[in-house]
Amino acid sequence: MSDSKTTCSDCGAAILQITADMYYGRCVPCHRKVAVITPDDFELPGEILARVEEQDEDPEVYRKLTWLFGTRRTRGLLDWRKEQAKLYRQWAPRLRAFAAKCRKTNRPPPDRSLSIRDHEKQRICELTCQQSIVGLPNTVTICSMPLIALPVAQRLWPSDDGIVLLTPEEESQWNELYSPDTGDWGWLRSWWWIIDDSPQREATFENSGETITITRWREGDVPDGESPWLVHVGECAGPLSGSGHMEWWSWDGKRAKFVSQLGRWIS
């Protein structure tokens, strides 16, 4: 690696030539000051633009990223995206075929056979899944939900190539066929809708080796004759990026009504 020196075009500090090349003649602190807004006349270097187009990526996204983080990171990102696109071409058809086979062997029960309780769960699913899942190029999102909720999702999100619907059990079976490396989240994302109709009032979970207990509702908060249902909706792309929320619904034996949102998380 070259260690030739130059000076920052803004503050005059001595910097490595490689830094100047990456940050358009500036040192890192000066670059950060100007990097928040991408100037209209900033253009992607020709060789990067060619790769962006060849890989069918969005040039405007890369124009902003390159301005912000420099050309080296953009090249690294393009390498990673290329690898993920390869995995997508290799695995996405298998995943779709797996899902199609599941729907043949494990069909949702017909509407007429559903209880009032199941119909109410479907209604909640419809209300909480209104937001569509945005399909990204070369990406599949596994949407996992109970079997009775699948017809709702099929109606809400018809024929989208970027979405595969599975039950949680089927998703586990898929995970045995495909065990992703930790960096393989670029082509495969997950989204879930879970309804827990017999939740515990207190929940415990582990966080950095510590056991944490949270109380979801107080005794007496649930009216006599009603039982709480908890709805979890979440999504994640890889182990580090995700978001979701939990809703409390109350079931009185005939109808479920929304009570409150119990929590929202983002990581």
**Cβ proximity to Zn ion, 10 vs 160, nearer residue:** 10
**Cβ proximity to Zn ion, 25 vs 146, nearer residue:** 25
**Cβ proximity to Zn ion, 15 vs 48, nearer residue:** 15
Q: Taking the mean position of all CA atoms in its chain, how far away is CA 237? A: 4
In degrees and rounded to multiples of 5, residue 5 shows phi and psi of -110, 155
- The tokens describing 208, both together, are 């950095």
| Shortest Cβ 63–Zn ion spacing (Å) | 23
Rounded to an integer, what distance in angstroms lies between the CA atom of residue 247 and that of residue 18?
51
| Shortest Cβ 243–Zn ion spacing (Å) | 36
**Cβ proximity to Zn ion, 10 vs 21, nearer residue:** 10
Rounded to an integer, what distance in angstroms lies between the CA atom of residue 6 and that of residue 14?
6
| Shortest Cβ 30–Zn ion spacing (Å) | 3
How many other CB atoms are found less than 10 A from the CB of residue 27? 21
**Cβ proximity to Zn ion, 11 vs 212, nearer residue:** 11
| Shortest Cβ 70–Zn ion spacing (Å) | 14
**Cβ proximity to Zn ion, 28 vs 259, nearer residue:** 28
**Cβ proximity to Zn ion, 8 vs 85, nearer residue:** 8
Q: Are 239 and 104 contacting, i.e. CB atoms less than 8 angstroms apart?
A: no
| Shortest Cβ 1–Zn ion spacing (Å) | 21
| Shortest Cβ 13–Zn ion spacing (Å) | 5
Rounded to an integer, what distance in angstroms lies between the CA atom of residue 130 and that of residue 102?
24
Give residue for tokens 């902003």.
64
Residue 198: half-sphere exposure toward Cβ, Cα within 13 Å: 0
| Shortest Cβ 65–Zn ion spacing (Å) | 21
| Shortest Cβ 27–Zn ion spacing (Å) | 3
**Cβ proximity to Zn ion, 13 vs 97, nearer residue:** 13
- What residue type is 242 in one-letter code? G
Instruction: Show the 3-state SS of 22-65.
Output: HCCCCCHHHHHHHHCCCCCCCCCCHHHHHHHHHCCCCHHHHHHH
Q: Which has the closest alpha carbon to 17: 5, 27, 7? A: 5
DSSP 148: G
Q: Interface with Zn ion by CB under 5 A: which residues?
A: 8, 10-11, 13, 27, 30
Rounded to an integer, what distance in angstroms lies between the CA atom of residue 263 and that of residue 243?
11
